Amino acid sequence: MKLYFDDEGFDGQLQRTIGKCDSGMANVGECLYIASRITPGDRDSWYSEWSRFADGLMAQAAAAERGGHATSAASLRLRASEYYRQAFFWHRDEFGAKELTTAYRASVDAFRRVLADLPRPSRIVEGDTPGYLFAPSGTGPFPTILHIGGYDGTAEELYASAYPALDRGWAFVGLDGPGQGSVLYDRRVPQRPGWENVVPGMFDLVAGLPNVDARQIVLVGRSFGGLLASRGAAGEPRLAALIVDPGQCDMAAVLAARFGELWKGVDDPAAKGQFDALLKIPALRTLLGPRMLTNGVADPQSYFQDMRRYTSVELAPSIRCPSFVTDNETDHVSAGQGQQLHDAMTCPKVFRRFTREEGAEGHCEGMAPIVFWTAAFDWLDTTLH
């Protein structure tokens, strides 16, 4: 479904931010105004308009704070944090890029200034996989969502998924892992497929936090996190449940279908020039540059070779906890792999395909994340009693 831009990438990212309106991290009117000022396809225009508007919100927040309006200041900074994150999205191809370093730091700083004014307890989580804990009011221990991000997400962005948990009496922890957020941009640790060796450490970290019920920690992975979380669950038998949206199990298969004949030369050294030539195509340079940086590789052919390691079907039978696996009838990213992952699992499991008729069209249910969370928590209520 087109929202504003003809450019599919620009429009998809605009929808990604508008999908956060329910959480207070965005506003429809603001987002559409920002979009109206962007030159389609121009990543520099994208950066300048999102960051300029975020700067304005931060100035308003400072004025509100001086006037004693702490709640208004927090609301303004929360939206600014998301808009700064959006600003650097198309500039993630170089660690030293001014746009990335400036807007990423501004996003984190704005978000952390909000924490003290949130209506429910929150805290920064330190460690190898840093992030944030949000808890319901009252005394715990609480059942807890351990949420990991996708290919280009940040722990700050995951706050948009916290409110459905908090409203139901769950604690929520959003963490950055290898190749994500602060672990990538601050520590420069690239992505890796072996999250079966990452999630156990995350579990230990979360289980040691105050008010967390270690017997009821549920791992959630969305977007690329659907693949990472499924691998992670295979290495962590203490999880109470697993939720992946969408289920993904073979990233190379999707790339092979997209690049057709070129893919046949992925292991041929003589084909390196053909792969390098992809970077001369602006749209593919924008697509591949950030992915090469995230994976810690230097050229497109190496990136494609590396992505063949990102599979989960062979580990799916090792997942022991009850699992909720989704897909979406209009998701071109998952390419129907949710059903494939579900079928490879041997644990108690449920498969759910979201549809356009629900208003939940597209990758990760597009602009209707509440449809996903309603289904997920209803399943959790039934499964974990």
Q: Is the peptide bond before 269 cis (omega within 30 degrees of 0)?
A: no
Q: In angstroms, rounded to a whole number, what is the distance separating the alpha carbons of residues 43 and 12?
A: 14
Query: Tokens 């006037």 belong to which residue?
Result: 67
Model-wide pTM > 0.85 = yes
pLDDT at 3: 92
pLDDT at 246: 95
335 pLDDT tier (thresholds 50, 70, 90): confident
Name the residue type at position 193.
P
**Within 10 A of 161 (CB to CB), how many other CB atoms are there?**
23
H helices of 67-210, in order, are 70-87, 98-114, 162-167, 181-185, 199-207
Is the pLDDT confidence value at 201 over 90? yes
- Closest among 100, 3, 95, 6 to 50, alpha carbons compared: 100
Decide which of 260 and 233 is more confident.
233
Name the residue type at position 53.
F
- Cα three-residue angle 204-205-208, rounded to 5 degrees: 85
Is the pLDDT confidence value at 332 over 90? no
Instruction: Please say whether the dihedral angle defined by the alpha carbons of residues 278, 280, 285 and 288, taken in this order, is positive or negative.
Output: positive
Q: In angstroms, rounded to a whole number, what is the distance separating the alpha carbons of residues 130 and 105?
A: 15
Q: Residue 228 to residues 11, 174, 180, 224, 330: CA-CA distances in angstroms?
A: 26, 14, 12, 7, 22
As a whole number, the mean pLDDT across the chain is 96
Backbone angles phi, psi at 266, to 5 degrees: -65, -25
Q: Residue 147 to residues 87, 91, 164, 217, 242: CA-CA distances in angstroms?
A: 23, 25, 13, 10, 10
Question: Rounded mean pLDDT of 165-192?
Answer: 97
Q: Residue 81 to residues 56, 158, 160, 241, 315: CA-CA distances in angstroms?
A: 12, 12, 11, 31, 36
Q: What is 284-347 written as a DSSP string?
A: HHHHHHHHHHHHT-SSHHHHHHHHTT-B-TTTGGG--S-EEEEEETT-TTTTTHHHHHHHH--S
Query: Tokens 């804990």 belong to which residue?
Result: 133
Is the pLDDT confidence value at 152 over 90? yes
Name the residue type at position 180.
Q
pLDDT at 1: 80
Question: Rounded mean pLDDT of 182-200?
Answer: 97
Beta bridge partners of 349: 323
Question: Rounded mean pLDDT of 45-50?
Answer: 98
Residue 134 near residue 115, CB atoms below 8 Å: no
Count Cα neighbours of 203 within 13 Å in the Cβ-side half-sphere. 25
Beta bridge partners of 218: 145, 241
Going edge to edge, which strands form the sheet with 142-148? 122-125, 131-134, 171-175, 142-148, 212-222, 241-245, 323-328, 349-354
pLDDT digits (tens, 9 = 90+) for 285-317: 999 999 999 999 999 999 999 999 999 999 999
pLDDT digits (tens, 9 = 90+) for 99-150: 999 999 999 999 999 999 988 889 999 999 999 999 999 888 999 999 999 9
